[in-house]
Amino acid sequence: MKAWSPLIAAALIYAGVNAQIGVEIIEDDSTEPYAGVSEAMNGPGPCNGYPNYKDMPINQAFYLGAHNAQAHDIAQALADGIRYLDINLCKDQGIITTCSSKDGSALKKTFRDVLNDIFHFSRDSVQQFFIVNIKSENVAQPVETKELEAVIDELCKVHTEATAGTDEFVKNECPFIYTRGPGPWPSVANVVEYYPDMAQWEGDGEIVGVRTKFMMTMSDQVISTPGNHATYFSPTFWRSIHKEPVLSMDDLKSSIRKECRIPAGGIALEAYLSTQQSDFNYTPEMIEDILLSRKGCNLNDAPLNTFVSLFSADQYREQLPYLRELEKRMMDLNYAKWSGNYDLIKPSKFVKEEKKVERDEL
């Protein structure tokens, strides 16, 4: 016999009381999507907050990213909704550590520190999926895959054993890491095991095992250790707009324009310049121009199989409200395109529409 959920019962009682006293319900103008009831009551909703899009493959979804995430508080970035972490690593005195992308200098935060933050988030959150990209940009000693995976296994073993309901840890089979296999990309729901349509029986709902996973990718600067097959790194499913140096806003728009004309899947909107010596201080107006103008992506006129997979920038917190709205708009658009519907991206509420002033003829 199925058990009544306390949350459902409470909702029904509230609905009855609300009908009796005649409370006026004001429509919420928030851009945040409805996330349903999550098992992680104080965390983001399942499937990165988009349970209605649970069947969409992970390569069709949209991810907010932090470029050079080693400069940020990793735990805070993940809590803020960042789902793509771009991390620069190097070797310093035999230790794998984070390094500056500008001058290659070693930073205090080690690779172990980064992984601990990532594993703690994965254990404390339910049904989230994110991407960790490793690079060794502008460094004297690039990292190698064998060394990286040795550290990953060491820490994954600790966190696996500390997670209730997991099997015994096996080397090269970290349960927190999704690795690309043969066949099509899986849905978000399949990766994070979100199956709301399955019957819930009394006693269900206990959170055990690994429910949040991440995928690891790497740049060309990371050395593939000769004679060693890397098991944790998957290919990217997006196209970079930094294949050639991007030195200005015009370069950025020109580069993404080329990619948006090709019906070949996802594109990364990497809102930064190739030179590390100057910051790219973007605004919502600039991002909308990159996406919608004819000199940029011209997204509303792009092929059906062309979509934006991720947004990545050096600084994200100052523009976080706009970026969360951008995430919602992109998820809506990508889902429509995946469903075979040619849709237009919704306008941003953070950008004022310029109204043409009509003058009377004299």
Region 208-221 average pLDDT:
95
| CA distance linking residue 74 with residue 88, whole number of Å | 13
Write the CB contacts of 360 (distance below 8 Å, at least 6 apart in sequence): none
pLDDT for residue 277: 57
pLDDT for residue 208: 78
pLDDT for residue 263: 93
The partner residues of 135 in beta bridges, in order of sequence, read 88
| CA distance linking residue 268 with residue 239, whole number of Å | 6
pLDDT for residue 280: 79
pLDDT for residue 355: 54
| CA distance linking residue 95 with residue 197, whole number of Å | 47
Q: What percent of the chain has pLDDT over 90?
A: 78
Assigned token pair, 103: 């001058």
Q: What is the pLDDT of residues 298-321, one digit of tens each?
A: 999 999 999 999 999 999 999 999
Assigned token pair, 235: 């290919």
Position with higher pLDDT, 185 vs 102:
185
Q: What percent of the chain has pLDDT over 70?
A: 82
Write the CB contacts of 37 (distance below 8 Å, at least 6 apart in sequence): 7
Q: Which secondary-structure segment (H or E) carries 75?
A: helix 74-79
Task: Provide the residue ranges of all domains of the chain, joining segments of one domain with +.
Answer: 42-198+207-236, 243-340
Contact (Cβ atoms closer than 8 angstroms) between residue 350 and residue 325? yes
Q: What is the DSSP string of 80-145?
A: TT--EEEEEEEEETTEEEEE-TTT--EEEEEHHHHHHHHHHHHHHSSS-EEEEEEE-TT-SS--BH
Q: How much is the mean pLDDT over the chain? A: 87
pLDDT for residue 276: 63
Quick check: 27 pLDDT over 70? no
Single-letter amino acid code for the residue at 302: A
Q: Which secondary-structure segment (H or E) carries 253?
A: helix 249-260
Strands 63-66 and 177-178: what pairing? unpaired
Instruction: Report the range of poorest mean pLDDT among 126-130, 223-227, 342-346, 351-355.
Output: 351-355
Contact (Cβ atoms closer than 8 angstroms) between residue 310 and residue 269? yes
Strands 95-99 and 84-92: what pairing? antiparallel
pLDDT for residue 333: 98
